[in-house]
Every structure is written in C-alpha cells, then in structure tokens.
A and B are shown apart, each in its own frame.
Chain A
Amino acid sequence: MSITQAFLIHLICGVGLAVGFWVAHNVYSINLVSHPSHTLRLILVVETPIVILLYSCFRQNPDNCSYLKAVVRAILGLPVGALINTFGAIALGAPVGIQYLPKTINWSLLMSLFTFVPAASVFGSSWADWHRIFAHTKPNRTVEYMICIPAHAAIIGAWFGAWPMPLDWEKPWQEWPICVSYGAMVGYLVGIVASLGLALLRGRQQHNKGD
C-alpha cells in the first residue's frame, strides 16, 4: 500500500468527521456542546461506513478473506471495542448512571471506531498481529502505521481531554463526554498526520537501505 493511498484514506476519514459536524450544524442546528449525544451519533453514522469500507480494502489476507467478511468482522468489532473503551473510561472516572448511558454509548462507539474497528477489519482474528500492533507498538507496513498511531493518539487525546472536567469554570463543555470527545478527535487528527509522516520516513529509510 502506498503513501498516496494512505493519504487519501486519511483525508477521506478526516473529511468524514468534518462532514458529520457540518451536517449537525447546518441541517439539525445542534453541536457537540448543546446536544452531545445526538451529534456524536450523527458523526458515527457518517464516519462508520467510511472507515469500515475503506479499511476493509486493505485487509491482511485478500485471498482467504473476502471483502464482505472483512466488513462483517469490522461491524462485529465495533461493539467489542466500545465495551473495552467503556471499561477503561469507567476505571478512569467517567460518570456512571442512567442519565449518562446514551452519551457513554455513543462516545464509546466513536472511540471504538477510532481505535478498534480499523484493526478489526484489517487483521480480523489474527492475534499475533493485534499483539504486535497494540502491545509491542511495532508497526511495519504503512497500513499498520495507519491503524496503530491514530488509535494510540486518540486514546492519549481523550486522556488529556478529561483534564478540564473537575475544574470549576462552569462551562457547558466540561460535561461528560464533550471535552473528552474533542480531545479524542484532536488526538485522532494529530495521529493521522503523524502516521503519514512516520510511514513516509520509514518508506524513505527502506528505500535508502534498498539502494
């Protein structure tokens, strides 16, 4: 997979996020601060097909595994990733309660889309690859950079996004999950750029080695 393909994919994913926000703002007149749950759901609706369909093109074993199978396992990976993200968020202190349930569900599905779903569609159930990407953090190919780095960056961004929550500024965006979502999305975008840069660097290194 080439750098230009990676660049295009990331561009489309980023644009998808922007489209989600645009639709929320112009068509429904809501935004993340006023109606977090709905906005997140809207962004999900826009972004999920983009991510799943695009990443499934680059599945690990195109011979053994059909496109449809990759899409299906990505869809299955979405709730699993959501559960893991929710678990982590609750351990870190996310509020628990009936009134927070829709927000938490939407947030965790979005986080799963950033972190879990690309890997699920590309790798499926090959545990060794998951292990290499997420536990050892040693991506090799360009597609692995595309999966690994935005995922880690989204989580780190969400972690930093939780910092304003206990402060007493009494701003509406300090509620759960607004600032955390902003942090995650900023992290994701930074991760996209970083992954392209690193993949480019690695490509150049290999090119020099090859010569």
Chain B
Amino acid sequence: MPFSLHFSPTPLITAPSPLSKPFFLVPYYHTLHAPKSPLCSSTEHALTHQGKQEAFDRRPEDSQTLPLGLRRDAMPSHVAVIMDGNRRWARLRDLPVRSGYEAGVESLRKIVEICCKWGIKVLSVFAFSSDNWFRPKVEVEFLMSLFERGMQEDTGIFFRENIRISVIGDLTKLPKALQELMVNLEEATKNNTRFQLIVAVSYSGHYDVVQACQRLALKAKCGLIEPSDINVSLMEQELETNCTEFPHPDLLIRTSGEFRISNFMLWQLAYTELFFAQSLWPDFGEAEFLKALLAFQQRQRRYGV
C-alpha cells in the first residue's frame, strides 16, 4: 500500500469522514488529499506543504507518550502488517475498489504516525503480493499509479521526519518509472534513522528464499563459498530483509479476520507473535493497534525452548 503521510492533526482539506455516518448512508468517500488544481506546480507545492509544515511545527512537545497500559521496555522493535480487507471495505459500502485502496492509504498513514510516536523502529507492510499480479489489469495499474503518486507526494515528509524507506520484492515486474522512483527513494533515505518503513511490493516469502538460494548458488559457482558452508547467517545476508537492523518481526498483524500468513516473510516469521484482527484494514486504527500491542506485551516468548 502507498504511504501518503501527513503528520498534521488537522487535515488540509476537510471532508466528511465516512466513519461519522453508518456506512450504508455514505455515498462517496473523499480522500484527504488536495485535488489536482490548475495552479502552477510550484504554487501548488508551496500550498500543499505549507499546511504540512505548520502542522509539523504544532506537534506536541512530548511525542513519545505511550497510552496507558503499554510498557516502553516491551515495545516490539519490528511490526509487520498484512493490510487485508481494502476491497471488502469498499464492497460493503457500494464503493469502487479504488476507494478501498485509498482508505487503506489513510489507515497506513495513521499507523506509521503512531509507530513513530510510540518508538517502534521498523514497520513492514505487505503492499502487493506476487499473487496479486493475477488481479484485474485495471486494478493492478491503479495500484501501481497509487504507489507512484504516494511516493512522489511524501518524499518531503520522509526527509523531514527522518524516515527511511526500503522496498522489498521482485521489482523487475514493476513499471520502469516506478522502479526508478523506488530505487532513488531508497538511496536518498538510506541514512535516515528515526524510523524505517519496509514496503513489500511484488513480494512473497517463497520468492525471498528462492532468490537468496540463487545468490548463494552463484557464490558457490564462483567458488566464494561451499554449499555445505551455507548457514543461518549466510542465508540472512541474502534475504531481502537484510536492509534492516531488525529483520525478524516481533509481531505480525493481519486484518480482516483471515487466519493465514498468505506467503509473507516466511523465514522471518519463525518466532513472531501473530495477531489476527477482525476489522478490515481501512478501519484498523489506533484503538485496534493498541489492542494488538497490549496482547503482544502479555505474551511469553520462549523462542522455541
């Protein structure tokens, strides 16, 4: 899912929140993004980001306060999320599927903001699976354009908020322009240290292991290693999650009531605590996230012993 981040408590464009009415009475969902205007790009840019800057300056001084019940020493370093339920959310409201994805963007934005506030170091999101290429072409194209738009719009925020972006997955299948954008954004934000957002696009756990295997086979072919030398450490160096200091999620959250991993980060989830939320991703907010974290903090982790 694309990451369109506004750290403002007040949105730039106020629109009736679909959540303020019963869902069956909501005809259309309005995003909180500014619509395309005939203004020249520099003016539009200035207006768009002025609101964000002012909101950023109004940020509360103590942004590290945790809700009651959460313990700072037991916060997970890495949370992974399978953002399921966007299409169902839209279908339930008789909205087009794209509205579901846009609502999913809002949800992701909120969760990233909360993660930054509560001191979680890494958030991995399953934005687009290898299996999702089988979806209708129109839907896939829309998602690609949503990723592109989201990255372009929020580049400034990533720099200001010191957020590192990493993208994992088989990027060769993506449109060339999007590939370039992602690679450039990764490179440009690689020294940001406050928070890392890992976006899994065209990714699957099987793909990750197989590509690591291929890289190791190549090293063996070149005589750099023997196949018998392959161990956990060598394997983890080749997995796509080698882009982070915390490659193994402490907590995996899956929304929409499905009880499966759906081919996400299989190797990395060996000792991860699993939390299955009933709500659909666009409805997954701070309250649900808090519930997941509180549940996580109650768990006794034995790491197989």
> Are A and B associated in one complex?
no
By a beta-carbon cutoff of 8 Å, the part of chain B in contact with chain A is: none
By a beta-carbon cutoff of 8 Å, the part of chain A in contact with chain B is: none
